[in-house]
Amino acid sequence: MTAYLTLFGAAFLAATILPAYSELLFLGLLREGYNAWALWLWASIGNTLGSAVNWALGRYLLAYQDRRWFPFRAERLGASQRWFQRYGVWSLLFAWLPVGGDALTFIAGMMKVRFDLFLALTFIGKSVRYALLAGLLSLI
């Protein structure tokens, strides 16, 4: 059970604005023979819930965007908002991307995307990524 909780924690942190990666741990545990479905589920849920932290930050901390500690500058926020408005909530299927994925989930909160829709689309994208990683490992 410890391995699954560790993976959950790593996946959770990897989805926040903190620098972390869960893919290597996921693949390593798969290699060691842990249950693939359980690993997929723990990693997918952890990564999705970590993204929910970004959604909440975007939803509730936008009022502090003029503060020095705020993670994004106004010009970058404006460009990201325009991008999100252009491609819509479907872009959340790509929240797993290593570059820009965290920003997408933050912006979804700023744009007041319904939380249930956010969770569903983010979970789909992130769970497909872990499934593809497991599939690639099985080919090696």
pLDDT digit string, tens, across residues 78-112: 767 777 888 889 999 988 887 778 888 988 998 89
Spatial distance between the Cα atoms of 9 and 111, rounded to a whole number of angstroms: 27
- Whether residue 114 has pLDDT greater than 90: yes
Chain centroid to Cα 104, Å, comes to: 9
Q: What is the pTM of this model?
A: 0.87
Spatial separation of the C-alpha atoms in residues 2 and 85, rounded to whole Å: 41
pLDDT of residue 121: 97
Question: Between 18 and 3, whose confidence is greater?
Answer: 3
Can you tell me whether residue 92 is helix, strand or coil? helix
Handedness of CA 21, 84, 114, 121 (dihedral sign): negative
Question: Given a cut of 70, is residue 76 above it in pLDDT?
Answer: no
Write down the domain spans for the chain.
2-139
Return d(Cα 96, Cα 98) in angstroms, integer: 6
pLDDT at position 69 over 90? no
